[in-house]
Amino acid sequence: MSVLIAMAVYSTEENKKDECLAKTLKSLDETVDLKKHKLRLSVNGATDETKKLIRYHSNIIDKVFWNESNLGTAEAINLVWREREPGQHCIKMDDDVVIHQAGWIELMCEAIAREPKLGIVGLKRKDCWERPWETSFEKKSELIYLPQEPGEKCIIVEAANHVMGTCQMYNSDLLDKMGYLFQPCKYGYDDVLASWRSHAGGFKNVFIPYIEIDHIDDGKTPYQIWKENHSKEVQKLVENIAHEYRNGSRSIYYNPFL
């Protein structure tokens, strides 16, 4: 099965993300069969160095969307997902992550094949707080042994309320129900809201916690300060929207192209 990989790119002189993008693309080249799976970039902002990097890696990039302005993460990803084929799983990933093990996409696909009610399957950053031994609702997770036929390898996943959006695979069945990513702002919370939409649609969200990844943005630029302040400003709004998904007063379906 070919998977559609969507990456929102936002590189500016201020946020200094080009070095991160270079490492991320190199990581994908080393760990993903990009003749089989399709990598498409949706560029919200680019420096001259960004454009050079994209040209340098043109052999592994299937298509580039050059957006005229910063659309925000969700709408940038949605432009790519609009072209997904029927039954095709989609990946949303950031432009500042390094993945250290090959075959991770195939493992995600296999997890969904064994348990079709897995809505979102994510790779787990080292700073995520979900753990099986935690007791709070926000942090509690559960290890699940997926169905296994004789001769198949064991797959264990970690079910959680929220699967962080650094690198997520979305089950095609979930996308048929929820449509596209939604966020009420330019940055953040699309993954939080998608997780609640997935739950409301009758799916489970899980990490594959033993594929090592690194979030490589050191967060020391003025852009990081803006992101933190912006997140605080919209947090209450996001909580209200999540509550509406949970109680059924808001439809989980969202399609900005209608």
**38-66 pLDDT tens trace:** 999 999 999 999 999 999 999 999 999 99
- Per-residue pLDDT, averaged over 8-33, amounts to 95
Look at residue 104 and tell me if it is in a domain.
Answer: yes
Q: Are 198 and 112 contacting, i.e. CB atoms less than 8 angstroms apart?
A: no
- What pLDDT score does 229 carry? 84
Note down the domain range covering 49. Answer: 4-247
Which tens digit of pLDDT belongs to each residue from 185-211? 888 899 999 999 999 999 999 999 999
| Number of domains within the chain | 1
Is the per-residue pLDDT at 250 higher than 90? yes
Is the per-residue pLDDT at 222 higher than 90? no
- What pLDDT score does 224 carry? 75
Kindly indicate the confidence band of residue 73, based on its pLDDT and cuts at 50, 70 and 90.
Answer: very high
User: pTM to 2 decimals?
Assistant: 0.96
Look at residue 254 and tell me if it is in a domain.
Answer: no
- Per-residue pLDDT, averaged over 204-226, amounts to 89
Q: What is the CATH number of the domain that holds 65?
A: 3.90.550.10
Q: Are 77 and 44 contacting, i.e. CB atoms less than 8 angstroms apart?
A: no
CA separation for the pair 21, 53 (Å, rounded)? 8
- Per-residue pLDDT, averaged over 99-106, amounts to 97
Look at residue 253 and tell me if it is in a domain.
Answer: no
Look at residue 102 and tell me if it is in a domain.
Answer: yes
- What pLDDT score does 42 carry? 98
Look at residue 217 and tell me if it is in a domain.
Answer: yes
